[in-house]
Amino acid sequence: MNEFDFEGYTCPVPIRPTETVILGHGSGGTLSRDLLRRLFLPDLGTAAPRSLDDSAVVEMNGARFALTTDSHVVSPLFFPGGDIGRLAICGTVNDLAMVGARPIALTCGFVLEEGLPFETLQRVVASMQDAAKEAGVYIAAGDTKVVQKGGADKLFINTSGMGAIADGVNISGANAKEGDVVIASGTIGDHGIAVLSAREDLGFETALESDVAPLNHLIEAMLAAGEIHVLRDPTRGGLATSLVEISEQSNVTIEIEEEKLPYKPAVKAACEMLGFDPLFVANEGKLVAFVKGDDAEMVLSAMKRAKYGEDAAIIGRVIGTGKSQVRLKTAIGGTRLVDMLPGEMLPRIC
Amino acid sequence: MKYLDEYRNPEKVKALLREIASITTQNWVIMEICGGQTHAFLHHGLDAMLPPQIELVHGPGCPVCVTPLEQIDKAIAIASRPDVIFTSYGDMLRVPGSTQDLFSVRAKGGDVRVVYSPLDAVGLAEANPDKEVVFFAIGFETTAPANAMAVLQAKNKNIKNFSVITSHVRVPPAMEAILGSKSNRVQAFLAAGHVCAVMGFHEYPSIAEKYHVPIVVTGFEPIDLLNGMVSAIKQLEAGESIAENQYQRAVKFGGNESAQNTIRSVFQSVDRKWRGIGVIPQSGWGLSPDFADFDAEIKFDVGDILTQESPLCIAGEILQGLKKPTGCPAFGKECTPQTPLGAPMVSAEGACAAYYKYHREVTHE
């Protein structure tokens, strides 16, 4: 064989900043963060403090309220364990609850594509009603728009919500402290793999169900049991992205332990097969809590007694301040970084 | 999880690490040829647990990384056509072409879809007779059988609106190119187990002998990798150089003959350009003349695509194991997964992406 001269090899030019929005901007990872920081916050983030928590906290006449909004564009509309309607209600309820607020009322806006069967809409609305009842919130206002065929993918829902924050409750991604214990409320990645499986018809032998659920009652039980510093529901971008966000907001080093992370075997198997990291997979009925070290066991016990907290587990702790980093102790005793998802999560080639 | 947990047993890992430490008496440079192995080392934090005398270098076994820019630009040109449904495995969509990537094509209105199997692309062609469905058929010996099967299926079903852009590459010629280079530092190889599961390792004994280099066929779990390391280091320390199989549960000497026959019925051996390495003779598979009707490059006449390279990226040196990702001045600065200068930072199997994801700032006590 000839000897190869490897000198002078060059690689392609950098990707230029995209001229258009790409799907990765909605992944909840670093592209989403860049969009927020470079475009939305400079132009729109004026009135409320830029806490970048799941809800904004606004004060009025000495009382504190939580305010949030969320849009839902999931495909397919119905998936094992849930549907877009339940997702819309639970997502907004959870965003309110993650700053320690008691959800009071929601609004919902529908964007309907011409040709959507009434039966589909009816099922979605009934599901929303059930979820609102379970969460104990009411839907106070709404709006409907219909777009031409092709102008939307069947049905989009926006929900906004308002909640009240009790005196003494102070929860934010910026409040993590050294010594805090990190608790996950249950198995990770169920929603993302269930939806992917339904959307792509992957035909897994084990039926996976989404975990979509309202977590406000679970959080009430946690607040009664101990001092909670941070709450976050790891939706798009998964647990990894939430932990990285919290480490940056609080400027702390978080260490989690691979062996303590709760996964359903079917989720773990699906991720192995597809080349996904379950830490990046979306959840819709799970939370991660940073709890004062001394209170951790009490909070964990309260969670295990509550609905949607039965599989709660301590997964790590805050080990230092002054450096925002998330580290993972691997099951075999190594250590590596955990980072945000850069763009869309993509199945590997081989 | 059966077939996984037993290969991630912490006690067995510790025992193997102790064995490696006890048998290593001098510095050795060992290349894991496959990007999946690179990621496994870093994902489990295994690289930092090895003795300091062992230097792991990362090979060109990332199918996305070594797909030439020209092929990506051709794919982008075809995917931009209004009459085309362009299909690919996910990783390929983010790889930068000269001016954009396939995700950007989709954002501008191109019908670009992720598929999990090339047979899904054939199904799309059947379901969309008014469209041309193109599949980006890249990868090593692992993906070639399924891609060949897709072309065969399309031919058997007389599907006229399906075609592929092929950029298949083979591992053994790349190993020889690295070993034959004047700048080679590799003293032993961990060969890619899944490639050998298809092709066997009958080509490896002669390479091991010719270049005096141990080659150990290795799997992807921590214990697989460490068993491979033990075998390689034992050989190095003893001055031996043979091809060994440490992945016997998946690999036979002759490989999977049925899969090989499928490959040979559709593809023929061709010279192939590797991104980062250059043209390696007879290192790839292209469609044989019998299947020219399924060649997207002919169908869409994209032979005169011009590519534009930059001098900033050292991906070539990374892919040959001459430098580590952290040895690149642009690593983590100009070059990140959001703004990749080269494919090794883009692909899920790329060495630079693995270092960025798992290893950027971790300090190991």
- Mention every residue, 6+ apart, whose C-beta is less than 8 A from residue A167: none
For residue B56, is pLDDT > 80? yes
Torsion of CA A40, A45, A49, A50, to 10 degrees: 10
Element (H, E) at A82: strand A82-83
Burial of A192 by CB count in 10 Å (0-12 exposed, 13-18 middle, 19+ buried)?
Answer: buried
- What is the chain B residue with the closest CA to A267? B1
CB B253 within 8 A of CB B200: yes
Q: What phi, psi does A89 have (nearest 5°)?
A: -70, -50
**If contacts are CB pairs under 8 Å, which of residues 125-184 in chain B contact chain A?**
138-140, 142-143, 173, 176-177, 180-183
Q: How many CB atoms lie within 10 A of CB B154?
A: 26
Sign, CA dihedral A268-B115-A337-A98, equals negative
For residue A270, is pLDDT > 90? no
The overall average pLDDT reported for chain A is 88
Residues A256-262, mean pLDDT to the nearest whole number: 95
Is A203 at the interface with chain B, CB within 8 A? no
Q: What phi, psi does A256 have (nearest 5°)?
A: -115, 155
**If contacts are CB pairs under 8 Å, which of residues 285-344 in chain B contact chain A?**
307-317, 320, 322, 334-343
pLDDT tier at B331, thresholds 50, 70, 90: confident
Show the tokens assigned to A123: 């099922």
Residues B335-363, mean pLDDT to the nearest whole number: 75
pLDDT for the residue numbered B144: 95
3-class secondary structure for A201-269? CCCCCCCCCCCCCCCHHHHHHHHHHCCEEEEECCCCCHHHHHHHHHHHHHCEEEEEEHHHCCCCHHHHH
Closest CA relative to residue B198, chosen from B153, B247, B268, B138 = B247
pLDDT for the residue numbered B226: 97
B116 and A1 within 8 Å at the Cβ level: the answer is no
Query: Which DSSP symbol is given to A147?
Result: E
Q: Could you say which of B180, B308, B316 has the minimum Cβ distance to residue A9? A: B316
Helices (H), chain B: 10-23, 35-43, 69-79, 102-107, 118-127, 144-156, 171-180, 193-199, 204-211, 222-238, 257-266, 296-299, 315-319, 343-346, 351-359
Give whichever of A236-240, B64-68, B209-213, B324-328 has the largest mean pLDDT.
B209-213
The DSSP string of B257-298 is HHHHHHHHHHEEEEEEEETTTEEEEEEEEEE-GGGGGGBHHH
**If contacts are CB pairs under 8 Å, which of residues 260-289 in chain A contact chain B?**
265, 268-269, 272, 274-275
Of residues A5 and B310, the one with the higher pLDDT is B310
Q: Report percent pLDDT > 90 for chain A.
A: 69
Of residues A12 and A141, the one with the higher pLDDT is A141
For residue A120, is pLDDT > 80? yes
Of residues B266 and B183, the one with the higher pLDDT is B266
CA distance B111 to chain A (A): 13
Show the tokens assigned to B62: 């990332």
pLDDT tier at A3, thresholds 50, 70, 90: very low
A11 and B315 within 8 Å at the Cβ level: the answer is yes
Q: What is the pTM of this model?
A: 0.81
Report the C-alpha gap between B179 and B349 in whole angstroms. 22
CA distance A3 to chain B (A): 5
Q: Could you say which of B94, B358, B360 has the minimum Cβ distance to residue A343? A: B94
CB A199 within 8 A of CB B116: no
pLDDT tier at A310, thresholds 50, 70, 90: very high
Residue count of chain B, please give it. Answer: 365
pLDDT tier at A207, thresholds 50, 70, 90: confident
B1 and A15 within 8 Å at the Cβ level: the answer is no
Q: Which 3 state secondary structure label does DSSP give B61?
A: strand
For residue A15, is pLDDT > 50? no
Give whichever of A201-205, A268-272, A282-286 has the largest mean pLDDT.
A282-286
pLDDT for the residue numbered A26: 78
CB B112 within 8 A of CB B78: no
- Mention every residue, 6+ apart, whose C-beta is less than 8 A from residue A109: A142, A143, A144, A145, A157, A158, A159
Q: Which 3 state secondary structure label does DSSP give A106?
A: strand
Residues A56-65, mean pLDDT to the nearest whole number: 92
B358 and A337 within 8 Å at the Cβ level: the answer is yes
Do β-strands A288-291 and A335-337 pair in parallel, antiparallel, or remain unpaired?
A: unpaired
The strand pairing partners of B192, in sequence order, are B218
pLDDT for the residue numbered A45: 65
pLDDT tier at A16, thresholds 50, 70, 90: very low
Which residues of chain B neighbour A21 with C-beta distances below 8 Å?
107
Report the C-alpha gap between B241 and A341 in whole angstroms. 41
Best probe of the A interface among B44, B70, B227, by most A CBs < 10 A, is: B44
**If contacts are CB pairs under 8 Å, which of residues 48-107 in chain B contact chain A?**
48-49, 63-64, 69, 72, 89-94, 96-101, 103-104, 106-107
Closest CA relative to residue A34, chosen from B119, B338, B9, B328 = B338
Sign, CA dihedral A135-A94-A180-A305, equals positive
pLDDT for the residue numbered B223: 96
In total, the C-beta contacts within 8 angstroms joining chain A to chain B are 214
Sheet with A101-113, edge to edge strand ranges: A56-60, A63-72, A155-165, A101-113, A138-147
Q: Report percent pLDDT > 90 for chain B.
A: 64
For residue A13, is pLDDT > 60? no
Start-to-end CA span in chain B (Å): 30
Residues A203-220, mean pLDDT to the nearest whole number: 87
pLDDT tens-digit profile of B217-237? Answer: 999 999 999 999 999 999 999
Show the tokens assigned to B350: 């790329």
Q: How many CB atoms lie within 10 A of CB A206?
A: 11
Is A118 at the interface with chain B, CB within 8 A? no
Report the C-alpha gap between A274 and B312 in whole angstroms. 32
**If contacts are CB pairs under 8 Å, which of residues 297-336 in chain A contact chain B?**
325, 327-336
* Whether residue A76 has a cis bond before it, omega within 30° of 0: yes
Burial of A60 by CB count in 10 Å (0-12 exposed, 13-18 middle, 19+ buried)?
Answer: exposed
Closest CA relative to residue B273, chosen from B264, B281, B261 = B281
pLDDT tier at A100, thresholds 50, 70, 90: very high
pLDDT for the residue numbered B351: 86
B310 and A3 within 8 Å at the Cβ level: the answer is no
Report the C-alpha gap between A221 and A306 in whole angstroms. 7
Q: Which 3 state secondary structure label does DSSP give B186?
A: coil
Do β-strands A56-60 and A155-165 pair in parallel, antiparallel, or remain unpaired?
A: unpaired
pLDDT for the residue numbered B310: 55
B349 and A268 within 8 Å at the Cβ level: the answer is no
Which residues of chain A neighbour B4 with C-beta distances below 8 Å?
272
Report the C-alpha gap between B87 and B64 in whole angstroms. 15
Q: Could you say which of A10, A334, A336 has the minimum Cβ distance to residue B311? A: A10
Report the C-alpha gap between B304 and A19 in whole angstroms. 26
CB A331 within 8 A of CB B223: no
For residue B347, is pLDDT > 90? no
Report the C-alpha gap between A65 and A50 in whole angstroms. 15
Q: Could you say which of B43, B116, B317 has the minimum Cβ distance to residue A347? A: B116
pLDDT tier at A156, thresholds 50, 70, 90: very high
pLDDT for the residue numbered A46: 60
For residue B58, is pLDDT > 90? no
For residue A83, is pLDDT > 90? yes
The rounded Cα B294 to chain-centroid distance in angstroms is: 24
pLDDT for the residue numbered B324: 85
Q: Which 3 state secondary structure label does DSSP give B118?
A: helix
Give how far Cα B15 sits from Cα of A229, A258, A332, Å.
41, 20, 11
Which residues of chain A neighbour B79 with C-beta distances below 8 Å?
none
pLDDT for the residue numbered A332: 93
Give whichever of A11-25, A148-162, A334-348 has the largest mean pLDDT.
A148-162
Is A339 at the interface with chain B, CB within 8 A? yes
Element (H, E) at A298: helix A296-305
Closest CA relative to residue A252, chosen from A326, A303, A197 = A326
Which residues of chain B neighbour A343 with C-beta distances below 8 Å?
94, 103, 337-338
Out of B187-196, B203-212, B340-349, which region has the weakest mean confidence (pLDDT)? B340-349
For residue B365, is pLDDT > 80? no
State the ipTM, two decimals: 0.73
Torsion of CA B215, B217, B223, B225, to 10 degrees: 50
B64 and A325 within 8 Å at the Cβ level: the answer is no
A13 and B362 within 8 Å at the Cβ level: the answer is no
Is B114 at the interface with chain A, CB within 8 A? yes
For residue A303, is pLDDT > 90? yes
Q: Report percent pLDDT > 70 for chain A.
A: 89
**If contacts are CB pairs under 8 Å, which of residues 17-56 in chain A contact chain B?**
18-24, 30-31, 34
A275: left (phi over 0), alpha (psi -120 to 50) or beta: left
Q: What phi, psi does B295 have (nearest 5°)?
A: -90, 110
CA distance B183 to chain A (A): 8
For residue A103, is pLDDT > 60? yes
pLDDT for the residue numbered A6: 36
pLDDT for the residue numbered A8: 34
Which residues of chain A neighbour B46 with C-beta distances below 8 Å?
330, 332, 334
Residues A289-302, mean pLDDT to the nearest whole number: 98
Q: Could you say which of A18, A34, A272 has the minimum Cβ distance to residue B104? A: A18
A349 and B91 within 8 Å at the Cβ level: the answer is yes
Sign, CA dihedral B233-B177-B218-B10, equals positive
